[in-house]
A and B are shown apart, each in its own frame.
Chain A
Amino acid sequence: MRALVLSLLMLFVAGAAFAVDPGEQLKDPVQEARARAISKELRCLVCQNQSIDDSNADLAKDLRRIVRERIVAGDDDKQVVDYIVARYGEFALLKPRFEPSTWALWFGPLAALLIGAAITWSVFRRSRQGTAPALDAEEKARLDKLLGRPE
């Protein structure tokens, strides 16, 4: 159902409302800076991967207001984010949480690099073995024996 609502919303996003209106900004510069930092990690749910800090959509505007309200109410950064997630789901986080369902995501790129590095290393090694001096008669006999080849 939420997906349906989101898709419908997406159809009606007007492109030209405004990102961070002057009227929204908090008086306290420290609180405002915190609000901006949090906003950069929250997704404007109806936009394509834009943060609410960057987005013009009305929903982003509402979310920015909620973030500032929570900050003024005395929430710490984590509580603000939790508040948003409780209402909009983890979909609102641009940086997915590190938990069992996202382990594959977070470790995937590293795993890809390590697998690639292992293959590369084995290719280098194999290539170096190729240059190794040929086996002498005794070694060859031993190898044949190990491999169970007939004399």
Chain B
Amino acid sequence: MIVELGHFALTLALAVAILQMVVPMIGAQRRDSALMAVAAPAALVQFVLIAIAFAALMHAFLTSDFSVALVAKNSHTAKPLIYKIAGVWGNHEGSMVLWVLILSFYGAMVALFGGNLPDALRARVLAVQAVIGVAFLGFILFTSNPFLRLDPAPIEGNGLNPILQDPALAFHPPFLYAGYVGLSMAFSFAIAALIEGRVDASWARWVRPWTLAAWIPLTVGIAMGSWWAYYTLGWGGFWFWDPVENASLMPWLVATALLHSAIVAEKRGVLKSWTILLAIFAFSLSLVGTFLVRSGVLTSVHAFAVDPSRGIAILGILVFFIGGALTLYGWRAPVLKAEGLFAPLSREGALVMNNLLLAAAAAAVFIGTLYPLFLDAMGGPKITVGAPFFNMTFVPLMIPLFCLVPIGPLLKWKRSDLVAASERLMGAGVAAIIVVVAVLAFQTRGPWLAALGMGLAAWLIAGAFFEVAWRIGLFSGNIRESFRRALRLPRASWGMAFAHGGLGIVVAGIVGTTAWRQEVVTALKVGDSAELAGYTLTLEKVGMRNGPNYQALVGVVRVTRDGRDVALMLPEKRSFPVERQEKTEAAIRTTGFADLYIVIGDENGQGAWTLRAYYNNLAPWIWVGGMIMAAGGIVSLTDRRYRIGAPNRARARLAAQPAE
């Protein structure tokens, strides 16, 4: 009964979405405020209906209602509660319901908090959102219905892929989707602006917080996915350049470019049509990501043809939105005249370089990810594009970008001189040089490039610190005045400092773990020891443990250093009987500066167990840095300038700011 209610709610949501798509758009064209007023309540109702459908599906999973085909296929009574919940989106159909839930949530947010938007713009934005909603609701109902019943219902379900039974991966999709789908807002704003044929500074200001609201969960989602890969795949790597990972990296790169170009569009009134194009691309790449992951095209172009209805439907949606948006862009963008000019050596000049490098990097990832599919479809050989390609194309684009990051914020708008900026960059430059020299002096092994990498990280971190220090006059000697200015510094400035500094921490983590990781691979009998990075690892015992829905082989490893006890680590190898799969569970002990990482393997037939241990220098910084970047985004999002109803106070405060 509840399941049917959910099905009904989802169908009704499609009807409401169609209404929301058509009526406000006509209203906006005819300047009919009664018709435009339909948009906001329709968006709210659509959200409530989809939330009901989602709750009904959740209920079916929680109560293990195996008369629902989707639950029978993807759940099991013995599964812990958290994975019953995560099971809702751990499959194609459910994940699509989550997708439209988040989509309608963003629509409802515009309906609730978009009061400061002009009526016509708001109506058009919500209508475009509804077009996306109609496409995906239709896709769900016609090709991927999660509410189909089974008769007779099986007694037990098939369980969930053990790989997905993990806390980080359980909540990875909602974050990623919040990011992917959040970019639909920037897209809808871009399309609405193209229809209106008008983009002004206020448009850019409205787009920024929505883009940021998508960028934050996308950052968190990518970091979570990478963290999961790190501790699950069993060898301590954090990024594989796998198409599924690249699918999330591409929208992130473009969204990051968009965040920066929207600043230029807001402050200087230039780069408007480029900003619109980026907004279109950011969401288009989110759709491409959904398509890549959901259509099965990645496994093989041929697998795509096995179940064509879904693949073709998503491809159709893709072509409609990307093709439609770009056509509209080609037709209307010339209307958006750029005003103002800019010099290469200026804040906007630096932001243009940021956009150029990020866009080229996104292109590199795009080409590397899709080329094998393209070649295969063309009848060429099946090839693989792996890490070596991306190391040769993506990384060289990131290095100049990272060099630029601390410089950009110190340049003035319109026209800047390098002398003034370089004085302020002195601190960061000195910090970077000290780190390079120190690494070269103390590094006993590892490539000399590592020193430059760490120098780059120091340049980013110190650059972020000195930028804030300079703005609040930290070195002027008047601490009280500096404190007062720190409190008055716009939150967006703090957010930027956190994001840029966090990036430096990520770079340090990547360089550190890549250049200086140590490993030992050995077979140990119970009682034997191995040495790694000054630690002694002794295999004390090997036993079995029963989990809620798995059996685990547990290695008990005593870790000592110079005879002193450091830790007892318990690497596991889990067998899931229902799903008939195995999964390694690494034991990780972190000091904050390095991870000791142990994995246990099979018995070798002579009473010894394979043990693989890594000492990953600075590895935790990768995810700490990622979280700091996301935190920077959140701080920035709370900036007064983005909030509603505080324009007067904000203006008064801005006037009190020292001129930039």
Which residues of A are interface residues toward B (Cβ below 8 A)? 2-4, 6-7, 10, 14-23, 25, 41, 43, 48-51, 54, 56, 89-96, 101-102, 104-106, 108-110, 112-113, 116-117, 120, 123-124, 127-128, 130-131
Contact = CB atoms under 8 A, between A and B. Distances in A.
A108 B390 CA distance: 12
B389 A95 contact: yes
Contacts of A94: 384-389
Given A3-B300, A109-B360, A56 B234 contact: yes
23 contacts: A3-B382, A4-B302, A14-B581, A15-B162, A15-B581, A16-B582, A16-B583, A17-B602, A19-B235, A23-B604, A25-B521, A56-B234, A91-B383, A96-B385, A102-B371, A104-B371, A105-B367, A109-B394, A116-B356, A120-B352, A127-B342, A127-B343, A131-B341
Contacts of A131: 341
Interface in B218-249: 233-235, 237, 240-244
B402 to A, nearest CB: 16
A106 to B, nearest CB: 8
Contact of A18 (B163, B363, B367, B602): B602
Nearest to B608: A22
Interface of B: 162-163, 233-235, 237, 240-244, 299-300, 302-303, 341-344, 349, 352-353, 356-357, 359-360, 363-364, 367-368, 371, 375, 380-389, 393-394, 397, 521-523, 573-574, 581-584, 601-602, 604, 610, 612
B552 to A, nearest CB: 11
A77 B241 CA distance: 24
Most chain-B Cβ atoms within 10 A of its Cβ — which of A18, A94, A120?
A18
A151 B76 CA distance: 85
B interface secondary structure, majority: mixed
B154 to A, nearest CB: 21
Given A21-B601, A54-B235, A109-B393, A49 B242 contact: yes
B363 A105 contact: no
A151 B103 CA distance: 59
Given A101-B381, A105-B368, A51 B386 contact: yes
Contacts of B604: 21-23
A91 B360 CA distance: 26
Contacts of B367: 104-105, 108-109, 112
Given A15-B162, A22-B521, 15 more contacts: A3-B300, A10-B299, A16-B574, A22-B610, A49-B241, A91-B383, A95-B389, A102-B375, A105-B371, A108-B367, A109-B367, A109-B368, A112-B359, A112-B364, A120-B353
Contacts of A110: 393
Contacts, number: 157
B383 A93 contact: yes
Q: Which 9 A-B pairs have the closest CB atoms?
A: A94-B386, A109-B364, A112-B363, A95-B388, A16-B582, A127-B341, A18-B601, A108-B367, A113-B360
A33 B582 CA distance: 30
Contacts of B302: 3-4
Contacts of A109: 360, 363-364, 367-368, 393-394, 397
